[in-house]
């Protein structure tokens, strides 16, 4: 089916590593992109393509993909990383795009 699935919530201790996953059939064909959204703000791109970071995004953010799963990893999570994270991918069966339901990251 044409959808992307994310865990609704994930927590991580300050300074530790956390992985946020996104699953969907379209990920077998196309790379995911990842967006960070803080309350009251527009989404911000953090990872795109195979594993690319836009200018200004810290190198603790990285991306990977295997089969039908894409992952966003934050190595050494900081308090300012607490946010909602969304994956996005083109639908492999139509000229449409898909968003995952989002993962709320809590930094403890």
Partner 1 sequence: QVQLVQSGAEVKTPGASVKVSCKASGFTFTAYFMHWVRQAPGQGLEWMGIINPSGDSTSYAQKFQGRVTMTRDTSTSTVYMELSSLRSEDTAIYYCARDNSDSDITGWWFDPWGQGTLVTVSS
Note the residues at the interface with partner 1 (CB under 8 A): 29-33, 35, 37, 42-45, 48-50, 54, 84, 86, 88-90, 95-102
DSSP string, 85-107: EEEEEE-TTSS-EEEB--EEEEE
Q: Quote the least distance from Cβ 94 to partner 1, whole Å.
A: 8
Rounded to the nearest 5°, which phi and psi values hold at 79? -60, -35
Nearer to partner 1, 81 or 84 (CB): 84
Q: Quote the least distance from Cβ 34 to partner 1, whole Å.
A: 9
């Amino acid at each position: 089916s044409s959808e992307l699935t994310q865990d609704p919530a994930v927590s991580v201790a300050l300074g530790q590593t956390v992985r946020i996953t996104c699953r969907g059939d379209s990920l077998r064909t196309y790379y995911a992109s990842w967006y960070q959204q803080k309350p009251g703000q527009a989404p911000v791109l953090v990872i795109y393509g195979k594993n690319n970071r836009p200018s200004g995004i810290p190198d603790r953010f990285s991306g990977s993909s295997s089969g039908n799963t894409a992952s966003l990893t934050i190595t050494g999570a900081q308090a300012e990383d607490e946010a909602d994270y969304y994956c996005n991918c083109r639908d492999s069966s139509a000229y449409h795009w898909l968003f995952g339901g989002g993962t709320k990251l809590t930094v403890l």
